[in-house]
Amino acid sequence: MKIIEAAAARLSLCALLLVTPTGPGFALNTELPDLGNSAGNLMTPKRERDLGKAFMRSVRRSEKVMDDPLLTDYIQSLGQRLIKDSPAHGTPFTFFVVDDPQINAFAGPGGYIGVFSGLILTTETESELAAVLAHEIAHVTQQHLLRAWESTGQMSIPSAAVLLAAIVLGVAIGGDAAAAAAVGGQAALIQQQINFTRGNEQEADRVGIDILAQSGYEPRAMPSFFERMGKANRVYASKLPEFLMTHPVTSSRTADAMGRAEQYPYRQTPEFLRYHLARMALTQRQNDRPEEAIRDLGQMLEDGRFRNETAVRYGMALAQIRANRLADAGATLDRLLGIHPEVVEFIVSRARVEALQGDNAGALRRLETAIAEHPESYALNVTYAESALAMGEPARSAAKLQRFLDFRSEEPRVYQLLSRAAGDQGKQALGHEYLSEYYYLIGDLEGAILQLEIALKKPGMNFYDSSRLESRLADLKSEQDDEKKKGSAKP
């Protein structure tokens, strides 16, 4: 597992940066050739969904998947915007951010698409960030990945998921990926995935540019990103970052991508505020000196040195909260809300200030109003649940979170909060059941089993609930046995 985790420490941008040049005449043609792929017949939709969920658990176990509700909200909203008017509409996708400075992104089974925080900070426009996601979406919609998964058809879901995580997360790093493959006895499968990815990049780029244009983004953002990567290649010279050494950006690749994008008319893409707010939030997370941040941001405002003034003021509010200057933070956020009353980042941050000042009732009223407009917002629902718990109203917290599960049922933090709410209501068995699901989603199978065993020992459980938990426990133990067998089979 240590070797697999090492492989998983570097996510691949190969999906975007291993383009094979083709002529610009292919720009609007999204019909792909028949690749002779039998995987579609072998990989049932249910198996792909189950494999995707297991893959995500493996990613959470080895990577720092960000739990920041606002950043999670943002990347989900960006991904859904790309899907809405594209051929991907109707296909389930889950977008998430990995807390890592590397410039990478990846797609896994079941439409799970991750992007590194370093990539978000490296892009200069939301269209550039959207270009990366659109490329990964294209890999999923065109079923490029299924061929690489075909060899896992005879493996159990947990074993296949761990192996695929090593493949997808380590594909660009050669030695570590090979080491991970050796552990699983699947070196040929690793090499097949590498070759497959390189062979299908041009289709994913072409479809990705189409998705960008159909979603209202500037399709030239993809060659723009290539060009900046090429400049970085020249600037770094002998001290290239690893991803640039393994994924060189050439002038021909940039020209080819531009040729495809030029098939679309140029459009003036508007500034997307949430993109700038997300970048500011990531920047502030890296600064552990809030008072220094307040001075620097204040100087930026005074000098007019900023790309987006609203984002700088938002960064000021975040720094003021961290410095416990709550009155100042409240005033800053009130000013922002006066101009942008609908922006989730400002609503949530203002509610947090109210909660920190002891006004949980005010925070709940603010959040309740916003949730009526945005019932699917992870950030609004989680912040509401936390405020309700702090106010001593666990039933209100649980009710809101239960409704949110209809939108997204795989967020670990939701189950963690549901566990607290159940415990505060004296529902001990239910609390342990929710906590079991939390541990399961973050990849801690042993912890998930332990929590179910504790739940089953609680008195007063009816026959239906007892049978349901015993069935779930049996499934988890079967999965644990499979992992042990896999481990004992390692050379």
487 is a domain residue = no
Tokens standing for 422?
Answer: 């159940």
Considering the domain boundaries, does residue 100 fall inside one? yes
Q: What domain range includes position 247?
A: 2-261
pTM: 0.83
Q: What percent of the chain has pLDDT over 90?
A: 55
pLDDT interval class at 171 (50, 70, 90): very low
- 83 belongs to a structural domain: yes
Average pLDDT over residues 19-32: 34
Query: Do 303 and 201 fall within a single domain?
Result: no
Residue 383 lies in a domain: no
Same-domain status, 33 and 146: yes
Q: Quick check: 183 pLDDT over 90?
A: no
Q: What CA–CA distance (Å, rounded) separates 210 from 373?
A: 31
pLDDT value of position 105: 86
Are residues 229 and 135 both part of a single domain?
yes
173 or 194, higher pLDDT: 194
Q: Give the span between the Cα atoms of 120 and 285, in whole angstroms.
A: 13
Q: What are phi and psi of 355, to 5 degrees?
A: -65, -40
Q: Which of 213, 243, 261 is the last residue of a domain?
A: 261
Lowest mean pLDDT among 76-85, 212-221, 231-240, 328-337: 231-240
Same domain, 141 and 241: yes
Same domain? For 35 and 148 the reply is: yes
| 156, pLDDT greater than 80 | no
**Which of 73, 100, 128, 136 is the catalytic position?**
136
Six-digit token pair at 341? 């009353």
Whether pLDDT at 486 is above 90: no
Of the two residues 365 and 176, the one the predictor is more confident about is: 365
Q: Do 256 and 275 share a domain, yes or no?
A: no
DSSP state letters, 9-40: TS---HHHH-PPP--GGGTT--PPPP----HH
Predicted pLDDT of residue 258 = 84
pLDDT band at 143 (very low <50, low <70, confident <90, very high): confident
Provide the pLDDT for residue 267.
77
Q: Phi/psi at 95 (nearest 5 deg)?
A: -110, 140
45-80 pLDDT per residue, tens? 788 888 889 889 989 988 899 999 999 999 999 999
Q: Is residue 405 part of a domain?
A: no
pLDDT at 317 over 60: yes
Whether 71 and 164 map to the same domain: the answer is: yes
Mean pLDDT of the chain: 81
**Residue 182 sits in the same domain as residue 298:** no
Same domain, 87 and 40: yes
Domain-located, residue 421:
no
- Any domain includes 466: no
- Beta-strand relationship, 105-108 and 94-98: unpaired
Q: Are residues 309 and 170 in the same domain?
A: no
pLDDT digits (tens, 9 = 90+) for 128-140: 999 999 988 988 8
Average pLDDT on 473-477 reads 95
205 is catalytic: yes
**pLDDT tens per residue, range 413-433:** 999 999 999 999 999 999 999
Look at residues 261, 283, 299 and tell me which one is the last residue of a structural domain: 261
Lowest mean pLDDT, pick from 150-154, 320-324, 369-373, 406-410: 150-154
Q: Which of 48, 201, 203, 205 is catalytic?
A: 205
Mean pLDDT of all residues in 357-373: 96
Domain boundary among 220, 236, 261: 261
109 or 197, higher pLDDT: 109
pLDDT band at 234 (very low <50, low <70, confident <90, very high): low
- Together in a domain, 185 and 310: no
Alpha helices in 186-308 (DSSP H): 187-214, 221-236, 242-246, 251-261, 273-285, 290-303
Q: Is the pLDDT of residue 266 over 90?
A: no
pLDDT at residue 379, rounded to an integer: 97
Q: Would the pLDDT of 452 be above 80?
A: yes
Q: Is 377 helix (H, G, I), strand (E, B) or coil?
A: coil
pLDDT at 458 over 50: yes
Q: Are residues 68 and 107 in the same domain?
A: yes
Q: Count of domains in the chain?
A: 2
pLDDT tens sequence across 276-306: 999 999 999 999 999 999 999 999 999 988 9
323 found inside a domain? yes
